[in-house]
Amino acid sequence: MSVDKLPDGRYGNIRTGVKNRNAMNNDVSDILSGKTEIRYPYSVIFTDLNGLKRVNDESGHNEGDKILKKAANILSGVFFDADVYRSAMRVADERMYADKKAYYDLHPEKKYR
């Protein structure tokens, strides 16, 4: 994974231009410790890109990176005044793929719809 500092000094992912997991963890720690105060209502949204693994496997990671960048651009456009992070959750991903495999074993007709 390519990690670098974005122009304003935040840690980000070069592929997507959004903040990375380290930045997210630091921001959450600052909020929980009281170092950063949130003075307005806020939400946390987690998304999953269905089919990304298939694109990576069948078309290569460069094609998958294009999808990640497009998704990051869309989310950054919709949530223009908010922080957007890219964070692959490896343990959660492993569990999710195991659950998906079991689901698709039971319902193969739904796998690539």
Q: In this predicted model, what pLDDT tens digit does every residue of 70-106 receive, in sequence order? A: 999 999 999 988 888 887 766 555 666 677 778 778 8
Full residue range of the structural domain in which residue 81 is found = 3-110
Q: How many domains does the chain have?
A: 1
Beta bridge partners of 68: none
pTM, whole model, 2 decimals?
0.65
Q: What is the pLDDT of residues 13-26, one digit of tens each?
A: 777 888 888 888 88
Q: What is the pLDDT of residues 18-66, one digit of tens each?
A: 888 888 888 889 999 999 998 888 888 888 888 888 898 899 989 998 9
Q: Under 8 Å CB-to-CB from 64, ≥6 apart: which residues?
A: 52, 55, 56
Helices (H), 9-60: 21-33, 52-59
End-to-end Cα distance, the chain: 30
